[in-house]
A and B are shown apart, each in its own frame.
With several copies, the nearest count.
Chain A
Amino acid sequence: MADVTTYRQAVAEGLAREMRRDPAVVCLGEDIGAAGGVFKTTAGLYEEFGPRRVWDTPISEQAIVGAAMGAAMTGMRPVAEIMFADFLACCWDYLANEIPKVRYMTGGQVTVPLVVRTANGGGLGFGAQHSQAAENWALTVPGLKIAAPATPADVTGMMAAAVRSDDPVVFFEHKALFAAKGPPAPPGHVVELGEAAVVREGDDVTLVALAATVPVALAAAERLAGEGIGCEVIDLRCLVPLDAMTVLGSLAKTSRLVTVEENPYQGGWGGTLVSIVADEGFGLLDAPVRRVAAACVPLPFADALEREVVPTADKVVTTVRDLSTY
């Protein structure tokens, strides 16, 4: 096994491992077959598993996710690709009303073990309709598990957990991380959903990040360390299950919290997390809680504009510096 891989390859590897393990796993989506997906995240699957396991679809997001649901209810473990997270809006009924509710509203009669994978987030200059961080949409809906890995090894390990989960999982792969490199997942690697990772320890401020904001938070932490401010960086890895205890545990040490979110401030996941902290962790806090989130605007095209809008290491540094003098 190579000692370094990319996030992009880790997606395909994660899928391949599960497809080898379990013949019930099948993939469907637009251009995922011979073409290997527009982001090459399904590269090699068609060659290894053939057209009975890897299905090209029409541009029919409702049919893709709806069919995945029907298949999941009847013995398969489908993995549906929605090419860009923005397009989840085209099949939102399935994510909001059908998949997460059918088990509950039938009194537990049916199980929907499926994964909806999608390329999330900005940073590549794709403009307003192809760059959103939409993980917060999914957070509004009880009944969906929400995975958003930040490293190649986590991609493969969380994919294993997602495919094996008997619950529906929305799996956000971050576009800006596809080229990122890291150690590959060891054989049989499974990262259970709902366990945050403390990716840097520190005593002064807790930074909570997700997916592409993890490297942003780490870069900021590194710079702040030079100023004598110790940041603990937590990679949430999942929004549901939400590992609030790891955050509260860190706050017991640092007493200061900053979230680093790519989704817009309004309705962003940090709001939910902060509200838990402001309740259960109120006594731990020594300073205001800050959220470094995207501005409440659509994503602009030009880099010079996008930088203004999304969280950057600069903004995190400024926020933390300001907070540490509170």
Chain B
Amino acid sequence: MTGAREAVADPDATELLALYEQMAVVRHTEQAAHDLFLSGLVKGTTHLAAGQEAVAVGASAALREDDYVFATYRGHHHALARGATPEECLAELMSRASGLCGAKGGSMHLTKASAHMLGSYAIVGAHLPMAVGAAWSARLRGTGQIAVAFFGDGATNIGAFHEALNLAAVWTLPVLFVCENNLYMEYTPIADVTAVASPAADRAPAYGIPGEVVDGNDVVAVRGAVTRLAGRARAGDGPGLLEARTYRHFGHSRADPAAYRPAEEVERWLKHDPLDVARGRLTGLGVPAGEVDAADGRAADLVRAAVEAAKDAPAPDPGQALTDVWADGGARWRT
């Protein structure tokens, strides 16, 4: 069921170094979010994407700037990959007025609509039909845009997944479904609750959609696969599905120590860190270790400054609680 796999040129050293740096920014941001949570400066919950950077950064590198992206509560990496700054993300997590959503959203709802990153949704699977709708809209408006929904392995078992994929296929819409299969839905192995081995790719045939599995920790492989599927979709050949196998470094959320994961498994995946994979490729392209380290240092500095700026930012004005319900800006529901 796999679409024609035309060769996609790998990124050159300069581009790959840029992708590496983007991933490093995500990594440092997630580490900062984790630390800030533990120190009490981030309330509620966080679902960190450390370990899954290559999916967001690789996919993003394959998209046009005006393509639409929909993500989940584990969506910091997607917001960052689509142009949100660490400062506006961390400010949101820290309940600051300068947060991406003015502190009305929080960690689970990072959104940067001006960059066509149309939101992070916290009801599993709910955004898949939305992405289908955005793709439908793009087709109706004739803009050549595509829409991409990122979701977890666990989301493949919910009804909205099924309805979204069928409608996308029937209407031949330019939408990509990118599953970040990190092997777990919260604390339960996905294999325990799913009838097939590759929860997304093995279902694609049920919708006549080409499905591929890719190493989600290899930014180059992800970029290549998304480039191919996006090309198909943009050409009017309909939706595509990519299952990116990856792993989260932290627990599911907050302070979850993820004790349910076998030590051997964790170790194996930590050895296959997306940053290391990219570093290996950079070495192969002849980029000196010092340049990679420098990229990492720039990322660390950026995030460090972002943390400080976010800390210094003011809390939202309480009056903001009663704005933004309606398009007129207010919340009036009665005379």
Contact = CB atoms under 8 A, between A and B. Distances in A.
A176 to B, nearest CB: 12
Interface in B96-143: 99-109, 111-114, 118-119, 121-138, 140-141
Contacts of A35: 186-188, 260
Interface stretch (B6-14, B150-158, B231-239, B285-293): B150-158
A297 B185 contact: no
A166 B131 CA distance: 20
Contacts of B326: 103, 143, 166-167
B325 interface: yes
Contacts of B101: 105-107, 109, 301
Given A63-B160, A66-B164, A107-B100, A309 B123 contact: no
B334 interface: yes
Contacts of A61: 158, 163
B111 A127 contact: no
A75 B327 CA distance: 14
Nearest to B97: A302
User: Which interface residue of B130, B319, B335 has the most chain A CB atoms within 10 A?
Assistant: B130
Contacts, number: 291
A94 B172 CA distance: 23
A240 interface: yes
A34 B315 CA distance: 40
Interface residues of B, number: 84
A242 B335 CA distance: 6
Contacts of A165: 327
A52 B141 CA distance: 11
Interface string B150-190: 00001101111001101100110000000000000111100
Contact of B321 (A67, A126, A295): A295
A106 B158 contact: no
B119 A60 contact: no
B281 interface: no
A129 B109 CA distance: 9
A128 interface: yes
User: Which interface residue of B43, B260, B327, B328 has the most chain A CB atoms within 10 A?
Assistant: B327
A243 B104 contact: no
B22 interface: no
A272 to B, nearest CB: 9
A127 B105 contact: yes
B41 interface: no
A282 interface: no
A244 B68 CA distance: 41
B60 to A, nearest CB: 18
Contact of A244 (B105, B109, B334): B334
B325 A130 contact: no
B320 A305 contact: yes
A16 B170 CA distance: 26
A111 B45 contact: no
B129 A69 contact: yes
Interface in A83-98: 86-87, 89-90, 93-94, 97-98
A170 to B, nearest CB: 14
B262 interface: no
Interface in B187-225: 187-188, 192-194
A321 interface: no
A162 B102 CA distance: 29
B296 to A, nearest CB: 31
8 tightest A-B contacts by CB?
A66-B129, A70-B133, A125-B44, A301-B106, A166-B327, A67-B133, A107-B102, A63-B163
7 contacts: A66-B129, A70-B70, A130-B122, A266-B333, A301-B103, A302-B103, A308-B318
Interface of B: 43-45, 68, 70, 92, 95, 99-109, 111-114, 118-119, 121-138, 140-141, 147, 154-155, 157-160, 163-164, 166-167, 170-171, 185-188, 192-194, 260, 315-316, 318-329, 331-335
Interface of A: 26, 30-31, 33-35, 38, 52, 55-63, 65-76, 78, 86-87, 89-90, 93-94, 97-98, 102-111, 113, 124-130, 142-143, 165-167, 194, 240-246, 266, 276, 295-298, 300-309
